[in-house]
């Protein structure tokens, strides 16, 4: 009799597993298929369920109680994933599943790491780095944030192409005019080439952008906006840290806000160009240090013992007492304009004497399906 009960229990468990698998299939209609890079899906939240819907038909093609699972499914099955309004609590890092995909976080969307989230941790023996969004070795991945990415303590975005000393990522884009919440560095790009960074700004206690082992990066504007400075005893708080072994990185404008260590830090990175480095308040603009091989953190690139050929064309200190920063972003027509996105980003410095300076007023045209 006991044997029969065990058999019944086993059959019931098997039946429930089959039903669970069938549910995912039923919510992914066979009639639906993503159309390469021109199609997109919309991720939305209703109660405890995250839905993925076709951008064209608005038909539900997948649903899950787990936001991480739904977002990763969307990226694996469509060229462009648009995360809509709502708070999405993540039990682990969003792992980019493949090359040639785009993740767009809209203005009223918030991706938040759960208090007990198991975020992906990477290391080369010189520290351990976790991240909320993790691209490990996939080419032409676009990460666009107009909303809020809240990693809690760890890094927010990690783009890492470690590949035995070579660049394991070619192409892609990182754009963030939204909020990046972290107690550590906001964005890391490691062992990658030809990645574009049109804009990143962040009000955080550590570095806004850290680059290691990269080649031929095109960076427009990176702004470190933390008026309160870093915690006592912390290092960093730079707009850009060329930490180790980069070549031919071109930056148009790096902005820093005192108190900070320096606006940019150049370490063992030759043939890089900064058109302008600017601080709003008195601060050290540029630091240049050559480290031994132990100076690297994540890159697998061979050691470079110099920064020969790296130049800063213009250094500017705006010697006025800053009160605060004002940011404004106008995203036009999303998602109907996909695969193109047009966004106008404005950054204004507010000084303690009541005056203001418009620091940035630029229209960005992001093309998510540029020819590979």
Q: What is the pLDDT of residues 148-171, one digit of tens each?
A: 999 998 999 999 999 999 999 999
Q: What is the pLDDT of residue 1?
A: 39
Per the prediction, the chain carries an average pLDDT of: 90
| 80 has pLDDT over 60 | yes
Per-residue pLDDT at 229: 57
Assign 34 a pLDDT band (cuts: 50, 70, 90). Answer: low
Query: Which pLDDT does position 127 carry in this prediction?
Result: 85
Instruction: Give the other-Cβ count within 10 Å of 226's Cβ.
Output: 19
Residue scoring higher pLDDT (183 or 27): 183
Beta bridge partners of 160: 136, 190
Which one, of 154, 115, 107, 159, lies nearest residue 131 by Cα? Answer: 154
- Summarize the confidence of residues 73-78 as an average pLDDT: 97
Binning pLDDT at 50, 70 and 90, where does residue 237 land? confident
pLDDT at 259: 87
Whether the CB-CB separation of 90 and 132 falls below 8 Å is answered with yes
CA distance 107 to 51: 18
Q: What was the pLDDT predicted at 30?
A: 44
Residue 372's pLDDT is: 58
What's the confidence (pLDDT) of residue 354? 96
Confidence check: pLDDT of 86 > 70 = yes
Q: Residue 28 pLDDT more than 70?
A: no
Close Cβ partners of 103 (under 8 Å, ≥ 6 residues apart)? 71, 75, 81, 83, 94, 96, 133, 141, 142, 143, 144
Q: Tokens 């064309």, residue?
A: 313
153/274: higher pLDDT? 274
Instruction: Report pLDDT for 227.
Output: 87
pLDDT band at 75 (very low <50, low <70, confident <90, very high): very high
pTM of the model: 0.90
Cβ atoms of 201 and 175 within 8 Å: the answer is: no
- Structure tokens, 82: 């648009």
3-state secondary structure 135-166: EECCCCCEEEECCEEECCCCEEEEEECEECCE
**CB of 85 within 8 A of CB of 106?**
yes
Question: What pLDDT digit, counting tens, does each position of 96-121 carry?
Answer: 999 999 999 999 999 999 999 999 99
Residue 33's pLDDT is 56
């Amino acid at each position: 009799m006991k044997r029969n009960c065990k058999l019944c229990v086993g059959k019931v468990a098997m039946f429930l597993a089959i039903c669970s698998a069938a549910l995912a299939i039923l919510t992914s209609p066979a009639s639906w298929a993503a159309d390469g890079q021109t199609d997109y899906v919309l991720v939305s939240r209703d109660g405890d369920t995250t839905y993925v819907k076709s951008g064209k038909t608005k038909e539900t093609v997948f649903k899950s109680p787990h936001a991480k699972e739904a977002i990763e499914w969307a990226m694996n099955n469509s060229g462009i994933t648009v995360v809509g309004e709502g708070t999405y609590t993540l039990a682990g890092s969003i792992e980019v599943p493949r090359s040639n995909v785009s993740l767009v976080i809209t203005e009223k969307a918030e991706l938040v790491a759960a208090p007990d989230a198991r975020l992906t941790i990477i290391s080369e023996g010189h520290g351990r780095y976790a991240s909320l969004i993790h691209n490990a070795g996939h080419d032409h991945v676009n990460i666009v944030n107009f909303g809020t990415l809240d990693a809690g303590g760890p890094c927010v975005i990690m783009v890492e192409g470690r590949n035995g000393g070579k660049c394991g990522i070619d192409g892609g884009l990182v754009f963030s005019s939204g909020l990046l919440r972290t107690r550590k560095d906001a964005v890391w790009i490691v062992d990658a080439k030809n990645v574009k960074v049109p804009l990143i700004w962040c009000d955080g206690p550590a570095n806004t952008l850290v680059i290691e082992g990269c080649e031929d990066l095109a960076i427009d504007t990176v702004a470190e906006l933390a008026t309160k400075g870093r915690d006592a005893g912390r290092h960093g708080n730079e707009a850009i840290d060329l930490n180790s072994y980069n070549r031919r990185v071109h930056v148009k404008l790096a902005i820093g806000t005192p108190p900070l260590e320096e606006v940019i830090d150049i370490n063992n990175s030759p043939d890089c160009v900064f058109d302008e480095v600017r601080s709003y308040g008195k601060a050290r603009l540029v630091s240049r240090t050559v480290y031994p091989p132990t100076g690297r953190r994540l890159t697998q690139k061979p050691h470079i013992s110099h920064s020969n050929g790296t130049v800063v064309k213009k250094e500017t200190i705006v010697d006025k007492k800053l009160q605060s920063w004002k940011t404004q972003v106008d995203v036009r027509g999303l998602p109907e304009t996909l695969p193109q996105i047009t966004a106008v980003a404005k950054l204004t410095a507010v000084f303690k004497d009541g005056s203001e300076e418009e620091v940035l007023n630029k229209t960005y045209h992001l093309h998510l399906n540029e020819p590979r």
